[in-house]
Amino acid sequence: MMRAVPSRRWMDANRWVWSFIAAALVWSLTIASVAGRGAGATLGTALGFATFYAIVGVGQMLVVSTGGIYIDLSIPSVMMLAGYLSMGTMGARDAGLLPGIAVALAVGLAAGVVNVVLIRGARIPSMIATLASGFIMQSMTIAYSRHSTAKPAPMLLDFSLSHVLGVPTLALTFIVLTVGVGFVLARTTFGRSVLAVGQNARAAYLAGIPIPRTIAAVYIISGILASVAGLLLAAYSGGASLNMSEDFLLMSIAVVVLGGTSISGGRAMVAGVWGASLFLYLLVNMLNVLGVGAGVRYVVTGIIIIVVLALSDQHEGA
């Protein structure tokens, strides 16, 4: 009993471990079902796809961590717009690489600033503010898509498909970035502010934490991460398309929650975003390998999201 108590407390503070256990379990089941073939390849592909969920998931996680009233529904639209404008700027030429990247980042920054102005300036609830800005960006993309080639620079295409020691370069890059975000949350004033605002905004205010600046920062970071994800996903798929980000609204929220972050704010699990992204991709992959149709795949995914949520106590530790 004496030993059980601290370990349980450790698990409580490190809920992200569960998402990795689940991912590992699904991975081993998949490998077992195909008699051990392609274990490394499966993991490599999973890392490649999970990267995109993880990039936007980290942004959504930061926003959600500042409190239950904050959420970013504009993520898929930012991805679309950034993907299209950057690919259009590149026009399949290496000379367009840097301008294209700059355009993508500008889209993310602008989206974040607009969201902050609507939420903090005009006092519009975050759900409606980001919904409205998302609508506007989505229709800008549709209008733009009528006359653009939207193909990546060859260098970016090569980079997005490249591997280092068998691991996708993109995944490696963003694992490093995620570790950075984890460090910022745990060790810096800004990171502590995000969590403090999420736990109790009133107390955070009385403690002198600049709430407007903190909220502004998380929305701008979320916008920029979404634009980077849009840029890379468009490159990875060989060009932008209008439906490339349609799953990402639900997925960005799902990976945050399944990773152990509290949806009501104040508790962030950076590693969990990766664990949950891997888990969700591997789960879909396993059902594919087992020859299950799309219908069953969706039903299983949905039930797992609900069951995991019901098992994790959302109110504790916040």
Q: Pick one of 5, 122, 165, 206: the residue that binds another protein (CB under 8 A).
A: 122
* Nearest alpha-carbon partner for 181 in 212, 157, 217: 217
Query: Is 293 near another protein (CB under 8 A)?
Result: yes
Select 35 or 122, whichever has its Cβ closest to another protein. 122
Token output for 126? 């975050």
**With b meaning 16 or more CB within 10 Å and e meaning fewer, what string describes 56-76?**
bbbbbbbbbbbbeebbbbbbb
Q: Which of 191/198 has CB closer to another protein?
A: 198
- Residue 209: what are its φ and ψ, rounded to 5°? -80, 130
| Interacting positions 88-117 with another protein (CB under 8 A) | none
Tokens of 277: 């992204």
218: left (phi over 0), alpha (psi -120 to 50) or beta: alpha
For residue 194, the minimal CB distance to another protein (Å) is 19
Q: Which of residues 222-251 bind another protein (CB under 8 A)?
A: 250
From 140, 155, 167, 184, residue interacting with another protein (rule: CB under 8 A) = 140
Closest CA to 177 of 108, 251, 271: 271
3 versus 146: smaller Cβ distance to another protein: 146
CA pair distance 155, 49, nearest whole angstrom:
20
When the beta carbons of 172 and 304 are compared against another protein, the nearer one is 304
Task: Select the residue interacting with another protein from 253, 270, 273, 282 (CB under 8 A).
Answer: 253
From candidates 106, 124, 155, 161, binder to another protein by CB under 8 A = 124
Helix (H, G, I), strand (E, B) or coil at 167: strand
Let me know if 192 is exposed, middle or buried by CB neighbors in 10 A (0-12, 13-18, 19+).
middle
Of the candidate residues 55, 80, 118, 224, the single one contacting another protein (CB under 8 A)? 118
* Interface residue list for another protein (CB under 8 A): 68-69, 71, 73, 118, 122-125, 127-129, 131-136, 138-140, 142-143, 146, 250, 253-254, 257, 263-264, 293-306, 309-310, 314-315
